């Protein structure tokens, strides 16, 4: 009984099916996870580099001393003791915060989801760097928000170009709901916003009465030990700050947070509760005990050194192997290199050949909401070992080189 | 620099601040959590009743044998091995399912959020029992959906009344996006939908080409050992089934799931990824190992007997203590009793006096989107011990009795 035809039901009644082009990337990751493929595609930290005796000790302490609370519901804002520890993490980024202003979220991703849920009706505009984090674009698109990109160069978001974008929007009578930016070791571009530009970006935001959403997953993964001031530290009221333990501890606990001034924080708590009631107390206890009882900054330093070496191997091999017309960013931290292929190459179309050659990357188009990035690709250096990264680049270089030869043969 | 005034910013630019009246309940829970208060307000299972040697063994196995994967990102659909175990949980509810059709979510709450995100634009209609689960109402309201209630009696949702509601909506040119229902041991009403009515509700849904969202947190917490067939088992295509481990294992891991046919499942995975990328692998591993290695149905039986005794104590004390004009449901399972106070009593206004008398409940209005439930209140019997429940009812009875005396004195 009770037949229903779901495809027509969805096309008639579903509100939010536009723009959800993530299935291409899911298919990619499914192939990329095969052991014979060198995956430079994901964005995974190397969780094998953690100390599992320490992890086991943390788990055991929770089960033995705090089990019933760890397995119970919690409040919508997150455990106070964890929020106190997250204030310490922000202090390591020289960013003052108060535990009352923090809301614990399911990774940084949920913080972006909740901020978008709070501000965006269908058709609203969000301004973001181009390229930008694919997960943020997915969150914006799920609320049918339109992303307008502002370009970057090797010193990050370009203030004059941002001012132009905002002026054009104003002229068109469209008011963006917020600026989304990753100032440190941007994903995917692998560049950082210069200190001088941070002041200018904030001044432009002030001029346009624009809220700024600062996403900072990689600030502590800095190979030079130099830190630019966070936007939040420069303008605490204007900036909603998004943090995560995914890159400095572990993504599998899904603990991130958002720091926002009172009225915004209160709305975000309500939306968190409406979304999933509360963060996992177990995950929060693991995070809190890790930060409170383990030398977590030493572990961060360990990740930093590991990734610094892998990044250097990647850059070295790109320099040795890729055809001359290719260019790439040279990151000073984070997890990603952004590379541009020569004219004529479409990285989306090249991907099938790369996978056949047993190397995976993410095509640049995934990081643009407007079809940009066709010649670009993102390479991740955090998850594979150095020799595998070098092998992956050699495979990629062969594919690119033979594609270029094909293009030259056809066109000449 | 860069001043921003967040309250006006929010009132000008925030999309989703309507209807978020949950702050009253949060304030209530904050008072209710004081140790001197007998809280019959929450909906917490008694996590202290779990076997923590078993929990510690599960944690330790994960840290020792599967740490790097448990702390890594996962896929948007959830771990295949966990989904296989959740199929076994559904089998215990006599509901056939395939692991491919399941999407793991952050409790049942996120499943409701994602279904609403998929279907509801601002102003869209959702039909739900009146009263209904406050968290579902919060999820619907966060997407600015309008809830139209259909009434219940002691055998659950009334089919004729549901047909009337749908006919009235159709007449008004409004098409509900789905019917949301908790057929087993409904929260908050404490009643179950009779088997005969299940067929009729589905026939009505078919007549109106209406999707049904079946929320089943309490099906296995049945004091009589009798199970009605789930709606999903009667009409697999028409029914989106929402399950959770919160009541049969532990809410603190935040593991729920949604079972939906292919096209819907695919959209829900994309929305899950846009919301928080993926479920915590750690929480999923804990759930999977618990279900695969522990006698979880024995534990469910233990919860069932514990709550059966507490429910009996609550009903017994209500019968002994409450004034004659009060009525209440007599649950055959679940966590809640729904009680109606005599004419003249407003349970929202009475709450402050009840808290002064050191007993907490949830006022009935929280479970209606339309202002209903003013004389009703919800009592939870799962979290307090029997003698505390009896003490709480005695305190409540005193408050109600003296309120009634006051009303009679004033009115004549």
State yes or no: pLDDT of B402 exceeds 60. yes
Rounded CA-CA distance B330/B133 in Å is 18
Give pLDDT, residue B26.
67
Q: Closest to A142 (Cβ–Cβ): which among B14, B121, B271?
A: B271
Residues on chain B touching A15 (C-beta within 8 angstroms) = 117-121, 124
Go through the domains of chain A in sequence order and give each one's CATH number. Answer: 10-50+298-411 (3.90.1150.10), 72-293 (3.40.640.10)
Query: How far lies B287's CA from each of B81, B280, B306, in Å?
Result: 10, 11, 22
The predicted-structure confidence for B32-69, as pLDDT tens digits, reads as follows 788 899 999 989 999 999 999 999 999 999 999 999 99
Are the beta carbons of A274 and B139 separated by less than 8 Å?
yes
The predicted-structure confidence for B194-221, as pLDDT tens digits, reads as follows 999 999 999 999 999 999 999 999 999 9
3-state secondary structure of B211: strand
Nearest C-alpha neighbor of B139 from the set B166, B178, B172 = B178
CB atoms within 10 A of CB B299: 18
3-state secondary structure of A333: strand
Give pLDDT, residue A225.
83
Q: What's the rounded mean pLDDT across residues B247-266?
A: 96
With residue B156 as reference, give the H or E element that holds it: strand B156-157
Rounded CA-CA distance B404/B396 in Å is 12
Q: Per-residue confidence at B2, pLDDT binned at 50, 70, 90? A: very low
Can you count the helices (H) and strands (E) in chain A?
Answer: 15, 14
3-state secondary structure of B104: strand
Residue B412 forms contact with A (CB below 8 Å):
no
Buried b (16+ CB within 10 A) or exposed e, B382-398: bbbebebbbbbbbbbbe
Chain B residue at shortest CA distance from A16: B118
In B17-36, the residues whose Cβ lies within 8 Å of chain A are 17, 20, 22-23, 26, 29
Q: Are B114 and B273 in contact (CB under 8 A)?
A: no
Are the beta carbons of A202 and B237 separated by less than 8 Å?
no
Are the beta carbons of B67 and A76 separated by less than 8 Å?
no
Give pLDDT, residue A104.
98
Residue reference for tokens 């709901």: A177
Query: How far lies A257's CA from each of A85, A240, A287, B34, in Å?
Result: 11, 10, 12, 27
The residue of A270, A271, A383 whose CB has the most chain B CBs within 10 angstroms, and thus the best one to mutate to test that interface, is A270
Residues on chain B touching A43 (C-beta within 8 angstroms) = 73
* Opening angle at CA B372, ends B369 and B374, nearest 5: 130
- B354: distance to nearest CA of chain A, Å? 22
Give pLDDT, residue B18.
40
Kindly write down the DSSP assignment for every residue of B270-332, as one continuous string.
Answer: HHHHHHHSS--HHHHHHHHHHHHHS-HHHHHHHHHHHHHHHHHHHHHHHHHHS-TT-EE---S
Rounded CA-CA distance A257/A106 in Å is 8
Can you count the helices (H) and strands (E) in chain B?
Answer: 15, 14
Lowest mean pLDDT, pick from B11-25, B216-230, B335-349:
B11-25
How far, in whole angstroms, is CA A312 from its chain's centroid?
Answer: 21
The predicted-structure confidence for B321-343, as pLDDT tens digits, reads as follows 999 999 999 999 999 999 999 99
In A245-284, the residues whose Cβ lies within 8 Å of chain B are 246, 250-254, 261-264, 266-267, 269-271, 273-283
The residue of A280, A283, A299 whose CB has the most chain B CBs within 10 angstroms, and thus the best one to mutate to test that interface, is A280
SS3 helix, strand, coil % of chain A, rounded to 5? 50, 15, 35
Are the beta carbons of A275 and B238 separated by less than 8 Å?
no
Q: Per-residue confidence at B226, pLDDT binned at 50, 70, 90? A: confident
Q: Can you read off the two tokens belonging to residue B216?
A: 């089943």
Angle B134-142/B107-119 helices, nearest 10 degrees? 40
Longest CA–CA span in chain B (Å) reads 74
Q: Closest to A282 (Cβ–Cβ): which among B113, B120, B286?
A: B286
Residues on chain A touching B252 (C-beta within 8 angstroms) = 69-74, 280-282
Q: Are A191 and A329 in contact (CB under 8 A)?
A: yes
The predicted-structure confidence for A274-286, as pLDDT tens digits, reads as follows 999 999 999 999 9
Q: Closest to A109 (Cβ–Cβ): which among B26, B246, B277?
A: B277
* Residues in chain A, pLDDT under 70: 1-3, 15-26
With residue B233 as reference, give the H or E element that holds it: helix B231-234
- B249: distance to nearest CA of chain A, Å? 9
Q: N- to C-terminal Cα distance for chain B?
A: 64
State yes or no: pLDDT of B143 exceeds 60. yes
Are the beta carbons of A15 and B121 separated by less than 8 Å?
yes
State yes or no: pLDDT of B169 exceeds 60. yes
CB atoms within 10 A of CB B411: 7
Kindly write down the DSSP assignment for every residue of A222-238, as one continuous string.
Answer: BTT---PPPHHHH-TTT
Q: Report percent pLDDT > 90 for chain B.
A: 89
On the question of a cis peptide bond just before residue B408, with omega within 30 degrees of 0, the verdict is: no
Nearest C-alpha neighbor of A152 from the set A127, A116, A121, A125 = A127
Q: Are A229 and A94 in contact (CB under 8 A)?
A: yes
Residues on chain B touching A18 (C-beta within 8 angstroms) = none
Q: Can you read off the two tokens belonging to residue A205?
A: 């935001």
Angle A281-293/A80-92 helices, nearest 10 degrees? 50
Q: Closest to B253 (Cβ–Cβ): which among A199, A234, A280?
A: A280
**Residue B194 carries which DSSP code?**
-
3-state secondary structure of B30: helix
Longest CA–CA span in chain A (Å) reads 73
Are the beta carbons of A282 and B252 separated by less than 8 Å?
yes
Give pLDDT, residue A34.
87
Chain A residue at shortest CA distance from B29: A75
> Which pTM was predicted?
0.95
**Residue B107 carries which DSSP code?**
H
Q: Per-residue confidence at B288, pLDDT binned at 50, 70, 90? A: very high
- B62: distance to nearest CA of chain A, Å? 8
Q: Closest to A273 (Cβ–Cβ): which among B22, B235, B269?
A: B22
Q: What is the dihedral of CA B340, B34, A286, A278, to 10 degrees?
A: 30
Rounded CA-CA distance B126/B370 in Å is 13
Residues on chain B touching A283 (C-beta within 8 angstroms) = 254, 280, 282-283
Q: Can you read off the two tokens belonging to residue B135?
A: 């968290």
Strand segments (E) across A248-372: 256-259, 327-328, 336-340, 359-360, 362-363
Are the beta carbons of B139 and A275 separated by less than 8 Å?
yes
In A61-120, the residues whose Cβ lies within 8 Å of chain B are 62-64, 67-76, 105-107, 109-110, 113, 117-120
User: Looking at this predicted complex, what is its ipTM?
Assistant: 0.95
- B3: distance to nearest CA of chain A, Å? 7
Task: Phi first, then psi: give them for residue A241, nearest 5 degrees.
Answer: -100, 130
State yes or no: pLDDT of B88 exceeds 60. yes
CB atoms within 10 A of CB A194: 16
Q: Are B169 and B161 in contact (CB under 8 A)?
A: no
Q: What is the dihedral of CA B59, B65, B70, B75, to 10 degrees?
A: -130
Are the beta carbons of B17 and A76 separated by less than 8 Å?
no
Q: Can you read off the two tokens belonging to residue A87?
A: 């204030």
Rounded CA-CA distance B11/A400 in Å is 52
Cα-only R_g, chain B: 22
With residue B379 as reference, give the H or E element that holds it: strand B376-380
State yes or no: pLDDT of B399 exceeds 80. yes
State yes or no: pLDDT of B278 exceeds 80. yes
Are the beta carbons of A274 and B73 separated by less than 8 Å?
no
Are the beta carbons of B71 and A59 separated by less than 8 Å?
no
State yes or no: pLDDT of B225 exceeds 70. yes
* Opening angle at CA B36, ends B343 and A104, nearest 5: 95
Q: Count the alpha carbons within 13 Å of B365 in the hemisphere toward its beta carbon.
A: 14
Kindly write down the DSSP assignment for every residue of A359-397, as one continuous string.
Answer: EE-EEGGGG-SSS--TTEEEEE-SSS-HHHHHHHHHHHH
């Amino acid at each position: 009984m009770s037949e229903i035809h779901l495809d027509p039901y969805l096309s008639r009644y579903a509100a939010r099916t536009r723009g959800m082009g993530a299935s291409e990337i899911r298919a990619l990751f499914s192939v990329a996870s095969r052991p014979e493929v060198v995956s430079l595609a994901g964005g995974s930290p190397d969780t094998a580099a953690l100390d599992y005796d320490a992890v086991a000790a943390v788990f055991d302490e929770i089960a033995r001393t705090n089990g019933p609370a760890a397995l119970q519901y919690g409040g919508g804002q997150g455990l106070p003791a964890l929020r106190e520890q997250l204030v310490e993490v922000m202090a390591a980024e020289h960013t003052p915060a108060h535990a009352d202003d923090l809301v614990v979220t399911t990774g940084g991703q949920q913080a972006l989801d909740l901020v978008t849920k709070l501000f965006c009706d269908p058709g609203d505009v969000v301004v973001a760097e181009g390229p930008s984090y694919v997960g943020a674009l997915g969150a914006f698109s799920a609320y049918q928000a339109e992303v307008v990109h502002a370009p970057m160069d090797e010193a990050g978001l370009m203030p004059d170009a941002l001012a132009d974008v905002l002026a054009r929007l104003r002229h068109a009578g469209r008011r963006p709901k917020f600026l989304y930016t990753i100032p440190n070791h941007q994903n995917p571009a692998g560049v950082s916003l210069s200190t001088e530009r941070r002041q200018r970006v904030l001044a432009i935001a002030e001029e346009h009465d624009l809220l700024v959403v600062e996403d900072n997953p990689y600030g502590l993964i800095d190979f030079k030990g130099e830190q630019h001031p966070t936007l939040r530290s420069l303008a605490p009221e204007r900036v909603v700050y998004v943090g995560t333990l995914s890159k400095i501890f572990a993504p599998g606990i899904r603990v991130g947070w958002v720091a926002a001034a009172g009225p915004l924080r209160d709305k975000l708590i309500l939306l968190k509760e409406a979304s999933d009631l509360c963060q996992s107390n177990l995950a929060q206890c693991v995070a809190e005990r890790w930060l409170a009882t383990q030398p977590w900054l030493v572990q961060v330093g360990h990740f930093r050194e590991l990734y610094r070496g892998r990044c250097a191997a990647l850059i070295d091999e790109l320099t040795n192997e890729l055809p001359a017309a290719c260019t790439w960013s040279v990151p000073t931290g984070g997890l990603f290199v952004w590379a541009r292929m020569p004219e004529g190459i479409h990285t989306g179309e090249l991907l099938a050949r790369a996978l056949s050659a047993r190397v995976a990357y993410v095509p640049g188009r995934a990081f643009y909401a407007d079809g940009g990035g066709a010649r670009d690709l993102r390479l991740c250096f955090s998850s594979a070992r150095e020799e595998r990264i070098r092998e992956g680049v050699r495979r990629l270089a062969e594919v690119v080189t033979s594609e270029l030869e094909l293009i030259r043969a056809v066109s000449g």
